Every structure is written in structure tokens, then in C-alpha cells.
Amino acid sequence: MPNTNADLMQQLNAFTRREHQPDEVYLFDLILCDNEIDRDGDCFSDAALDTLCKLFVGVTGIFDHNPKSGNQTARIFRTEVVEEPNRRTKTGAVYRCLKANAYMIRTAANADLIREIDGGIKKEVSISCAVGQQTCSICGANRLQKPCTHIKGRSYGGSVCYAVLDSINDAYEWSFVAIPAQRRAGVTKTMGGASPDAETAALRQSLAQMTQTLDAVTEELRKDVVRLCYQQGETACAKALADSTIHMDADALLDLRKSLRQGSAVYANSPAAYQAQLANPQSDGGTASPYRMQSGTGDAV
């Protein structure tokens, strides 16, 4: 594995029209990407990293977001996949990253830029590549061919959904991102296959089904609540409460059902309180009533 400057210069000169001396070029290395889950909920497979390792050799980098850097470019002349055996990704895999060696021809115009790279100011790297396969970690579907309804970052049965990127077809470019506020530069992925519209359509369809199910369950819940409302008799008050359930959503119905059940439990334990309430419905003795949201403890008989 070459790691001396002489070795690097030899590899670098394979990319230049004439042989350059060490003082003519500025050498630096950078991490292009890794197998950790990125901010989009994607991670590269081992095979994808190996493919990118081959494809990025010779690729030119750009320094975007900086109008002064018009003609300043750097080029990758060597890459390797570096493994850190003691480090694990969020998925539990051994951490692997794609490291690249790049060079710039030293000129008066890029002296400032070189100082910035040396000083660690420009260390955020963004890459752009073409991805042919995006596999869902939950169901195994290639989301580019057949979008599934699992949402990245959401947990399903204790497993967080993410997508594994594979079948890399091309490596377009890499660039330094000079926006310090940006948390991570990340990867721009051009996905082949199904369009994002297909994924949206699949999610919409799933949402419509879930809404339908929720509506049906809410209606069942409402009937249950109405039944509880009339449990203590068909009073005007009970009817008013039962009628109001038509405007309640599932959360409000669940709250009301809980209160009504607690209220009826109190009456079940204290028939005297119920009799007292029936004898004098206007009384406000603090007794738990199913028509009061706050159920009491039944001690005010």
C-alpha cells in the first residue's frame, strides 16, 4: 500500500501531462463517503463503497459557493476503502469509509484556498453519484423499482427504517462545501428507476388506507362512548354529551371514554352515591359523575 510521498507523486504523475515535482503540487486527502446512515436515511453497501472507490479515481473536484474560486479545481488520483475495526455504524456494521488523495497545482490564485484546506476550514465534502438500487431495511424492496411505504427514520417493530444504496453506476463529481453551518456535507444521490412521484403515490395510497381504518375504528369508539353516556340513564345531559361525540376525534373520544369508565367504576363501588345523584341530579356534592370530566373518588356521599 503506497503511503510515502514518493509513491504518491508517482501515482499523481500518472494523471498529469508532464511530470510534476513535489513543490509544484499541493497534496491533501479527504473522506468522500462512508457506510454510516446519512441525513437522508441512506447508507452505502460495502459493494457500493468498493465501486465508488474505483469510479472516483481521476474525478475532478470543484469548490462551490465561492465566486473567487472560478478556475480552482483539484483532482483525485488515488482512493482506498479504509476500515475501522473498532468502530461500528448505527446499523452495527464495521465502519468503512472511502478515503481519497487529491492534488492541486500550486498557483498564486489558489494560495488562499490551500491555506483554508490546510487550516481545516474546508473539510466538508459533498459527492454526487448515480445509484441503481435503494433497498429498504424493513421489507427488502428496491425502492427505486417498487417504492414501499416504510418511512426512513421511523421505527417498525423496534427496527429503524433506512435504505441501503447499491449498484452504483457513475461518480459525477465531488466538491468542498464552504458553508460552516451545514451539519454534514453529505452525498447527493441521483437515483435511477422509479421517480419520487411513484414513492409519493405509494405513500398516499397507504395513508388513504390508514385513514379509512382510523375512521372505522373511531366510529366504533364513538358508539362505545355513546353507550357509556347512557349507562346511568337517558337524561337530557347524557343525550347532550352523546350528541357531542359526533364532533370528537379519536383522541378526544379516548379521553372521554376513560373519564366515563372511571365515573361508572365509582358508581359501581358506591351504589349509594348513584342513588343520591338520581334523587337530586342538580346536587353538586363533589361526587364523581360520568358527565363531569374529572371523576371524583366517591367519598362525598
Grid cell at residue 171 = 461518480
8 binding Zn ion? (CB under 5 A)? no
Please state the closest distance from residue 291 (CB atom) to Zn ion, in A: 47
Please state the closest distance from residue 63 (CB atom) to Zn ion, in A: 38
Closer residue to Zn ion in complex, CB, 113/136: 136
CA dihedral (272, 278, 284, 289) in degrees, to 10, reads 80
CA 142 to chain centre: 18
The only residue of 31, 82, 121, 139 in contact with Zn ion, by rule CB under 5 A: 139
Contacts 24+ apart (CB under 8 A), 272-281: 272/301, 273/298, 273/300, 273/301, 274/232, 276/301, 277/232, 278/233, 281/235, 281/237
214 binding Zn ion? (CB under 5 A)? no
The DSSP bridge pattern shows strands 25-34 and 94-105 to be antiparallel
- Going by C-alpha positions, the residue among 266, 261, 225 that lies closest to residue 246 is 225
Closer residue to Zn ion in complex, CB, 156/172: 156
138 binding Zn ion? (CB under 5 A)? yes
**Binding track, positions 151-180, relative to Zn ion; x by CB under 5 A:** ------------------------------
Please state the closest distance from residue 45 (CB atom) to Zn ion, in A: 16
Please state the closest distance from residue 88 (CB atom) to Zn ion, in A: 23
Strand, coil or helix: what is 171? strand
Closer residue to Zn ion in complex, CB, 153/286: 153
Please state the closest distance from residue 163 (CB atom) to Zn ion, in A: 9
Beta-carbon contacts of 6 under 8 Å, excluding residues fewer than 6 positions away, are none
**Binding track, positions 282-301, relative to Zn ion; x by CB under 5 A:** --------------------
150 binding Zn ion? (CB under 5 A)? yes
**Which one of the spans 139-147, 202-210, 216-224, 225-233 is the region binding Zn ion (CB under 5 A)?**
139-147
136 binding Zn ion? (CB under 5 A)? yes
Beta-carbon contacts of 158 under 8 Å, excluding residues fewer than 6 positions away, are none
Q: Which helix (H) or strand (E) holds 295?
A: none
CA 137 to chain centre: 13
**Binding track, positions 93-132, relative to Zn ion; x by CB under 5 A:** ----------------------------------------
Q: Which residues pair with 209 in a beta bridge?
A: none
CA gap 33, 21 in Å, rounded: 30
- Going by C-alpha positions, the residue among 69, 96, 24, 99 that lies closest to residue 176 is 69
Please state the closest distance from residue 192 (CB atom) to Zn ion, in A: 18
148 binding Zn ion? (CB under 5 A)? yes
48 binding Zn ion? (CB under 5 A)? no
Q: DSSP class of residue 137?
A: T
Closer residue to Zn ion in complex, CB, 74/138: 138
Please state the closest distance from residue 140 (CB atom) to Zn ion, in A: 7
**Which one of the spans 13-21, 115-123, 143-151, 239-247 is the region binding Zn ion (CB under 5 A)?**
143-151
Please state the closest distance from residue 138 (CB atom) to Zn ion, in A: 4
- Note whether 288 and 266 are within 8 A (CB): yes
37 binding Zn ion? (CB under 5 A)? no
User: 225: burial class by Cβ within 10 Å (0-12, 13-18, 19+)?
Assistant: buried
Instruction: List residues near Zn ion by CB under 5 A.
Output: 136, 138-139, 141, 148, 150
